[in-house]
Amino acid sequence: MFRKTADEIMACDPDLAIIPVGSIEQHGAHLPIMTDWAIATELGRRVAERMNAFQVPALPISTNREQMGKKGTVWMEPVTFYQMMTDIILCLKTQGFRRIGIVQCHGGIFIMTPLIRDLNAKYNPDLMVAVADTCAFNDILYREGILEADNELHAGEGETSQMLFIAPDTVHMDLAEDFVPSVPRPYLSYGSIFRCCPGGVWGSPTLASREKGERILERSAELAEEALNRAFAYMSAKKKMNYSNF
């Protein structure tokens, strides 16, 4: 879509825009800081192609204070992310986009839920905003046998496999070490990931392979399309209730 001219985009006149969201953050000793952004770029492109949508470039920076401790992790305030996304989405709305699909490829964006809820409450039915969160796909990928381990949270089997497919020259498999901490995920609000995972990895990267990465990306693109279409269908079916379109 980026290679098209504005006139070519006018001729297709899409009403759906895809916004992939990643992050720049530490991913253990074996993966580059661009991991979530690289996956967002690849997966976002695939989802936009499948859905014949306009695509915004993958956003590299979001909220990830839980990854602090080493140089290279870049975050913004949640309120800044909220405002930035609101600006981008309302800009698209002005241009006639009615459906916005966010492809979220970094787990720690907890302001995503109020952001989406607020925009839909304010602007349905003229604007519908839905999210496909790749963290939610891990259970499915495990049940389907694409992932061998059910412990993927950060820099594990899934992310490492996808990076072996997308940018193998940036992956240092000789440095990959599996680790699962004794505390649950909400403890990332009580201390950075390095407090519970000294290597900055939460999962089983040694199980990763390029072939798994290709399968994960293919299946995740299908799952994202299904999740977005389900949400848009649900919102489209709503009738006005008293004063509320939400």
Residue ranges binding Zn ion (CB under 5 A) = 35-36, 159
Smallest gap from Cβ 63 to Zn ion, in A, equals 13
Provide CB contacts within 8 A for 207, sequence distance 6+.
Answer: 148, 149, 157, 178
The residue among 99 and 106 lying less far from Zn ion, judged by its C-beta, is 106
The residue among 42 and 159 lying less far from Zn ion, judged by its C-beta, is 159
194 vs 92: CA distance, rounded Å:
38
The residue among 36 and 42 lying less far from Zn ion, judged by its C-beta, is 36
**Residues β-bridged to residue 16:** 99
| Closest-CA residue to 28 (of 189, 216, 194) | 194
The residue among 35 and 204 lying less far from Zn ion, judged by its C-beta, is 35
**Residues β-bridged to residue 31:** 27
Smallest gap from Cβ 159 to Zn ion, in A, equals 5
Smallest gap from Cβ 154 to Zn ion, in A, equals 6
Distances (CA, A) of 129 to 118, 135, 190, 241: 10, 18, 31, 19
Smallest gap from Cβ 47 to Zn ion, in A, equals 18
The H or E element spanning position 46 is helix 35-50
Any idea what DSSP says for residue 148? S
Q: Which residue is nearest to Zn ion (CB)?
A: 36
The residue among 93 and 210 lying less far from Zn ion, judged by its C-beta, is 210
DSSP letters of 57-89? PPB--B--GGGTTSTT-BB--HHHHHHHHHHHH
The residue among 36 and 66 lying less far from Zn ion, judged by its C-beta, is 36
Task: Give me the count of residues in the chain.
Answer: 246
Helix axes 157-166, 210-236, angle to 10 degrees: 110
